[in-house]
Structure 1
Amino acid sequence: MDDSRLASFESADGQRSVEFNRDGAGFVRFQEFVRRHDDIASAYWGFGQYSGLYASLEEAIIGASSDLPWFDRPGGHS
């Protein structure tokens, strides 16, 4: 089974984003993407941090708010 996206959020400046996905075994993880620039590709999304596995989306969101300084947990503060 493929991963399924549960949620995604973008930073206020549009330079970073984070996606939350559930894998085939039911675990949730997050992956950060960072806007990068170079002379050949111009602007593109590169990989940033990625997490370990969490049992739930809420746990993954709490983990992301702790690990990603720019990410403020939706509905609360980290």
Structure 2
Amino acid sequence: MFNDRQSAPLLAYDVQIGHVRVRVLGNSPEEAVEHARRRLCAEMPRMWDLIASLAAPRFAVQLATSISAADPPARKH
């Protein structure tokens, strides 16, 4: 029938690993890490094996302060 996770509004999360940060949408920090992992693997294909093998606690996840740019490209800080 209906899945409450799918009907809940998505939140914007800033997910950072090392010096790279991406903004992704998700229902939870865990989901945000999975979205960020897939996106980073796609944007940095030479690093996919390293990104895919990182443990979830290695990713720093914060709710985004603004959602105006909910999906900017990966950026280094």
**Do they fold alike, i.e. is TM over 0.5?**
no
User: Which structure's residues are more often helix, by fraction?
Assistant: 2
Computing the radius of gyration from Cα coordinates, the structure with the larger value is 1
User: Which structure's residues are more often strand, by fraction?
Assistant: 1
Higher relative contact order (CA 8 A, sep 6+): 2
